Amino acid sequence: MNLREIAKQTLATLRAHKMRSFLTMFGIVWGIASVIILVGLGLGFSKDQKKRMETLGKDLVIIWGGRTSTQIGGLAAGRKITLTIDDARLIRDECYLVRTVSPELQRNVPEVSPYNSAARQISGVWPSFQDFRSLIVSEGRLMTEDDERDSNRVVILGWNAARQLYPGQPAIGSTLIIAKYPYTVIAVLAEKKQNSNYAGPDNDRLYVPYSAMARDFPPPPAKGEPMIKGYLSDIVLEVGDPEEHEKAVMQVRRTLGRMKHFEATDKDALFIWDTMQGSKILARIFGVITIFFGCVAVVTLALGGIGVMNIMLVAVTERTREIGILRAIGATKGDILNQFFAESVVITALSGLLGYCFGVGVCLLMANVPLPEIVPAPIVSPAAVITSLITLSLITVGAGMYPARRAAEMEPVECLRYE
């Protein structure tokens, strides 16, 4: 039998058993589509979380004061470490592995606009803060070095803060009374899709120059403690080179440790949180999730292959007498093997093509239609496609060759006797 005859007979057999062929093919179609869609969703979740993490800032390090846990130079352990504006300046001037730095002074004070009032958190920061914290304005302008140097009373509103204080009204250029001081609104931030923060979502906050905030409403001292000049809530900085992230953090610890008399290795003296570490943890989590999704999909595809093998074994049993007749009129074992193997190849190849089109189609559709915020657009992964094709090839050989060899090894006389 030549290739044309084999193909013709194969298609005739599939047409004769349409429902069985469809159900057999469905398992392969769903398996291939599952690999593409599930791996695509895993990659989509990973990309979405990384993008949301970047809204907090790139290579960001936030430093809070803590308490020493070791003795040094005759000083007892347990001393409270308080950050001041001089510490921020020291990091800026001496820590060459740090690209930019900003102090942050936080207060919750009343704000009154011509339309509404609130008591939202305000942060006094340097202008450099706006860049590495990814503050993007929807209207207006950002703070400048002149605003910081001259202690200008200007304020930037987060998206939600603007909607509360100026509901449906223009905010830019308006006067906002903050703790009885008049501040001019210079910008409204673009809405952020943010799933991580260290002091509240940026959409809810207000930002002013640090110098203006330190002058107008410095934080009151804690009960029983003296007033600390230049007190800061925290210091925020951006690392110059992500590859030297840990070195930069240690450089900051050494610099502050020298001035405040604690060991650089004393982890309790400063509490440090950074987005680099957080992004690594998230990447590992979503990497494992993606691998899990891929394994589930490949197992589903393998189960579809078992279905193909099962149906082909049934077909061999049903066509036992046909095999005997073919052998009696001169068909060789090779002809029988090729016939049944060709049928399994057609089933798996056609199923694989339909599964690929369905899987990619679903991914493209989800990428171009509005989805709930918690559902990311799946990403078509070349690795997932290649893996599914390799798995499909193995299934084709495994699911087709065994039934085909079984058919080819049948004795003609026994086949003719089969009822």
Average pLDDT over residues 349-358: 83
Q: What percent of the chain has pLDDT over 90?
A: 29
Residue 280 CB contacts under 8 Å (≥ 6 apart), including other chains: none
Residue 18 has pLDDT above 60, yes or no: yes
- Residue 370 CB: number of other CB atoms within 10 A? 5
What is the reported pLDDT for 79? Answer: 87
H or E element in which residue 107 lies: strand 98-108
Nearest to 408 by CA among 297, 327, 293: 327
**Residue pLDDT, tens place only, 96-150:** 999 899 999 999 999 999 999 999 999 999 999 988 888 889 999 999 999 999 9
Tokens of 263: 């060991």
On average, the pLDDT of the chain sits at 81
> pLDDT higher for 281 or 66?
66
Q: Express each pLDDT in 70-104 by its tens digit.
A: 887 777 888 888 999 999 999 999 999 998 999 99
Poorest-pLDDT segment among 28-42, 138-152, 231-245, 248-262: 28-42
Q: Closest by alpha carbon to 99, among 230, 272, 242, 274?
A: 242
pLDDT band at 6 (very low <50, low <70, confident <90, very high): low
pLDDT in tens, 372-418: 766 777 888 787 778 777 777 777 777 667 666 776 677 766 656 65
Q: What is residue 56's predicted lDDT score, i.e. its pLDDT? A: 57
The pair of structure tokens assigned to 382 is 């070349």
pLDDT digit string, tens, across residues 273-284? 877 666 666 667
The closest alpha carbon to 50, from 193, 214, 187, belongs to 193
165-215 residue pLDDT tens: 999 899 999 999 998 899 999 999 998 876 667 777 888 999 999 999 999
Q: Kindly tell me the sign of the dihedral angle through the C-alpha atoms of 147, 149, 153, 158.
A: positive
- Domain coordinates of the chain in residue numbers? 3-54+281-417, 102-232
State residue 270 phi and psi, 5-degree precision. -130, 135
Q: Report the distance separating Cα 191 and Cα 136, nearest Å.
A: 9
User: Is the CB of residue 407 less than 8 Å from the CB of residue 312?
Assistant: no
Instruction: Give the separation between CA 53 and CA 328, rounded to whole angstroms.
Output: 72
Q: Tokens 């603007």 identify what position? A: 162
Cα-based distances in Å from 5 to 79, 149, 240, 409: 90, 88, 69, 21
> Token pair of 369, please?
């239609």
CA 367 – CA 255 distance, rounded (Å): 48
Q: Which helix (H) or strand (E) holds 335?
A: helix 333-367
pLDDT, position 289: 75
H or E element that contains 161: helix 159-165
